[in-house]
Structure 1
Amino acid sequence: MAVTEVSQVVRSEWTKVRSVASTVWTLSLAFVVTVGVGMLIAVVSKNTFDDMDRKDQLSFDPTLISFAGMSLGQLAMIVFGVLVVSNEYSTGMIRTSLAAVPQRATFYLSKLAVAAGLTLAVGIVTSFVTFFVGQAMLGSLRTDIGEPGVLRAVIGGGLYMTLIALFSIGVATMLRSPMLSLGILMPFFFLVSNILGNVSATKKVGQYLPDQAGSKIMQVVTPVDNDTPYGPWGGFTIMAVWVVAALLGGYLLLKRRDA
């Protein structure tokens, strides 16, 4: 397929995303929730810092505190990722799309390119805003963007949001149903992953789940008695592997089955 034809497919995918109000609202919600909850947790952390035990004070991570809202903001990114794919399946427009672009690899990659570009832009803006707002709320406990590891963590926050959306796109492409996709992804990230990652019996398994591993990229201060066998970039790599696997699974099923 010629470059001009690929660019036309990309523009078509951009039009689809832009014209659906729900996808725009979910990205806006991701921003508002992440920044808002991060700000509130920063205020609470500042007011309760003196009451923390010595271990918690030594493990206090001002940067990570700013991203406390990410666990809720990522849910909006999950919804966005699912909607990018499932809107076409639920309306039957997928048949028209694949008839217009029979090269399914081009169709799939164009959709991913648009979604990745949009979520990366929103994620980076959200990450920087939530960091600076959170630090303003922390007062004397704040850190600076120039401190070692902080800029990496802030940029990593935007990358994390992007990968969450792409993972959701892969899963939604495999399942095709918005209700089934959200019915699996929402409980998995909001409940199952947190339970597995915080229960001692399953912690060693939970720490290799995509969100548990990927969130390490936003960590600057290593907690006291930390036994995680990987660092920020190691965790990010683990998450990236999950995302690649989900996207590859989505493509293989898209290629092999009927619309």
Structure 2
Amino acid sequence: MAVPQVLHSEWTKIRSVASTVWTLGLAFVVTLGLGVLISVVSNNDFDSMSREDRLTFDPTYISFAGMGLGQLAMIVFGVLVVSNEYSTGMIRTSLAAVPRRGVFLFSKVAVATVLAFVVGLITAFVSFFVGQLILGDHGASIGDPGVLRAVFGAALYMTLIAMFSMGIAAMLRSPLLSLGILMPFFFIISNILGNVNATKKVGQYLPDQAGTKIMQVVPPLHDDAPYGPWGGLLIMVAWVAAALLVGYALLRHRDA
């Protein structure tokens, strides 16, 4: 089967499964909704903030406050895209139709990545403009230094989270096992490692800890990370590449 046919096949698979489509919609709703809530709270509390908090006030990053929860939906999307065929047993039919396993996996990842990026881009821009509208005089403009980079960076972050999840799902093949590892990793382990002094230097190199740097315009107080926004994004890209390459290696050398 030629590559364009494989891409079309993967597009058909993704859009025909309601759960994968719904997770993308949920990523938008959750990110925007929580971002709106935090923007309202931040705007109301601005006058009572300390001088230090005002100096590090980052209206752009506040718009993306819902990203931490919205990435949950992107993780589920990435896992389902890859592991659905394993849970239904359709993987044998798919690999029989596309015996070149590299073409099979990376066509699936390519189609899902484009979808994730489109949703991420829409989510990032809508969240930013709605958040700044709520923040009013305390908000930022899209033309301010670093703001446009942060907005596009938010879209890239959501996309990379989905891609990383695809790589993990390709390794583990089970949706339950993949989600059982990814959810605690991002929502518990990463936060603990990134906020405890003894492990902070290790935690700042985890994919989500490094990747969120791209969304920041004003550095947090006492930020001692040895990399900037683009450096953090490159660290996240390295994690994603490693996950996908290991997933491909395992797919290539084991039975369906």
Counterpart position of 1:150: 147
- Which of the numbers 58, 61, 70 marks the counterpart of 2:58? 61
TM-score (norm 1): 0.97
Counterpart position of 2:41: 44
- How far apart, CA to CA, are the structure 1 residues paired with 2:119 and 2:242? 24
Alignment of structure 1 residues 149-228 onto 2, 5 Å: 149-228=146-225
Letter in 2 for 1:13: E
Could you tell me how far 1:188 is from its partner in structure 2?
0.7
Letter in 2 for 1:156: G
TM-score (norm 2): 0.99
1:108 is aligned to 2:108: no
Could you tell me how far 1:223 is from its partner in structure 2?
2.2
**CA-to-aligned-CA distance 1:89-138 (integer Å, 9 cap, x gap):** 00000000000000001101110110111000000000000000111111
Could you tell me how far 1:24 is from its partner in structure 2?
0.5
- Which of the numbers 237, 242, 258 marks the counterpart of 2:239? 242
- How far apart, CA to CA, are the structure 1 residues paired with 2:49 and 2:189? 28
Alignment of structure 1 residues 67-146 onto 2, 5 Å: 67-146=64-143
Q: Unpaired segments of 5 or more residues in structure 1? A: none
* Cα RMSD after superposing both structures: 0.8
Q: Unpaired segments of 5 or more residues in structure 2? A: none
Counterpart position of 1:18: 15
- How far apart, CA to CA, are the structure 2 residues paired with 1:10 and 1:110? 5
- Which of the numbers 25, 28, 42 marks the counterpart of 1:28? 25
